[in-house]
A and B are shown apart, each in its own frame.
Chain A
């Protein structure tokens, strides 16, 4: 794309962002247009780069834990879970069963919160104003549970290496159950508003198609991959934190377009509710913290651990040199990798489709830029 030429009068270079409401943060997309048709795009990212990986090398393992929440701040709990699991892998320990179930509960609750925010903002981008109010209302209930549990709503720092710091509060189970019962009809309501809505369908169907082959080629994961017909979810493929104990489906669709990704995410919310209901029934008694020393000092070595975050595969590659600080922490962010496919998805489409596709990729710029 950089070889944009103004000499050819039919081509126009349009700058979208970084301060554009539909880019969900500070993403800048340079569009090369022929009329309304997109000839090519270039993403300019890095506006939110904070050097998280560098910071990690200068903190102890435990000190770095809160920083990971600031990457995908919409799903902070997933970030924390991935990091804790990676360090636990290096230490070769596992969190106690009770901690694992509570982790699953909170992570799934966070997945719902993340998907709700996605749905609201995505619908807002497309021009449907109503859903965002409903979605934020429901998300608020999830955030209240986080707040009651650990005192924070967004960047929660809910998990610790080796387990949990906080025991559940009185009424935690009831709150979760009430949330589940309350949410399901709401999801149906959103579907009533949108699924067969003519404008919604018209704006999303056959827009931003990415087939299974292309997904694998680009390393795209998460709902985008599943909407292209690949039944792959790390919670099933390589279960962690006891996900193998819960019954749930991996929703998939075949077309790999924006509409299918919407359907997949809606179904994922229902599946998360299903997991939470099973988990809440099965919280065992016992300790919430494993045997971890005051000083976390993994042996020399390295490990790559990844989880199914709401956006896709979130991985941590940690190298330890045997000291109290990680020698290297590499975060494999789903948003960053998925965003790379944007050009492929919008090429040949219309300008308005870019808005739909950025929305459907569900990127968080804090995670893209780290």
Chain B
């Protein structure tokens, strides 16, 4: 209230905009139950972040190679970024074109080994999750990561149609992050019990949290801690 730092322009348009945007923007998503430094300013350049300490962007450089060129020609604006960091190449694709990209890389560029599928949670970002596919090519002896940013509730298409090995890897992503893969043959939890509530690797899931009801019912103890 009483924001005296509104020097210019008509006061009406900015103030409702500014105030309307603030309340829903839950300033501290992780409940302060846990002490750790989880609420670090993780979001890369998320507008006007309050603590201006870290530069908070990866110092990636453009990835100049034939493959990157081919991909850009083939997928045009569906590829958002082809970069390299620490000598490791990655592609950022639009969520709905990840599977075509994986397919293209497998069939046309010999990236026939899906090393890993995983996700990273950035709760302050509108597109909350990074979905990361790590690929390797035996023929080229080269790795590439395909990344995409997806909002909460988005159901990315499964990669099982391209790489059979994605089955368990995607189940683990579902288990830990609650990202459901559309068209997956067996979309169930894999490491945690099926009835477990919550997705532990989300940032708003504190480290000491657990499904108390499940523990009480199945282990017949008050707490697993």
A residues engaging B (CB < 8 A)?
A: 45-46, 49, 51, 53-55, 57-58, 89-90, 92, 216-220, 230, 232, 237-238, 299-304, 306, 313, 315, 317, 319, 321-325, 327-328, 330, 332, 336-337, 340, 369-370
- Using A301-B59, A315-B134 as known contacts, list a sample of 6 further A-B pairs with CB atoms less than 8 Å apart, ordered by residue number in A: A45-B190, A46-B192, A49-B191, A219-B163, A327-B40, A340-B168
| Chain A CB within 8 A of B86 CB | yes
Q: Given A57-B38, A321-B56, answer yes or no on A369-B112 (Cβ-Cβ < 8 Å).
A: no
Contact between A49 and B192 (Cβ–Cβ < 8 Å)?
A: yes
Contact between B42 and A321 (Cβ–Cβ < 8 Å)?
A: yes
Separation of A332 and B134 alpha carbons in the complex (Å):
10
* Segment of B2-10, B96-104, B113-121, B212-220 in the binding face: B113-121
By beta carbon, the residue of chain A nearest B171 is A340
By beta carbon, the residue of chain A nearest B34 is A58
Residues of A within 8 A of B118 (CB): 317, 330, 332
> In whole Å, how far is A53's beta carbon from the nearest beta carbon of chain B?
6
Residues of A within 8 A of B34 (CB): 58
Residues of B within 8 A of A327 (CB): 40, 42, 120
Q: How many pairs, one residue from A and one from B, have CB atoms within 8 Å of each other in the complex?
A: 118
Separation of A317 and B146 alpha carbons in the complex (Å):
13
Contact between A58 and B36 (Cβ–Cβ < 8 Å)?
A: yes
Separation of A299 and B145 alpha carbons in the complex (Å):
19
Prevailing SS type, chain B contact patch: loop
Contact between A300 and B164 (Cβ–Cβ < 8 Å)?
A: no
> In whole Å, how far is A163's beta carbon from the nearest beta carbon of chain B?
19
Residues of A within 8 A of B76 (CB): none
Residues of B within 8 A of A328 (CB): 120-121, 201
Contact between A322 and B38 (Cβ–Cβ < 8 Å)?
A: no
Contact between B116 and A332 (Cβ–Cβ < 8 Å)?
A: yes
5 A-B pairs closest in CB distance: A219-B165, A46-B191, A322-B54, A330-B118, A332-B116
By beta carbon, the residue of chain B nearest A337 is B165
Q: Given A49-B192, A237-B141, answer yes or no on A54-B200 (Cβ-Cβ < 8 Å).
A: yes
Separation of A45 and B194 alpha carbons in the complex (Å):
11
Residues of A within 8 A of B78 (CB): none
> In whole Å, how far is B192's beta carbon from the nearest beta carbon of chain A?
6
Most chain B CB within a 10 A radius of its CB, from A90, A321, A327: A321
Contact between A217 and B56 (Cβ–Cβ < 8 Å)?
A: no
| Chain A CB within 8 A of B176 CB | yes
> In whole Å, how far is A338's beta carbon from the nearest beta carbon of chain B?
10
Contact between A217 and B59 (Cβ–Cβ < 8 Å)?
A: no
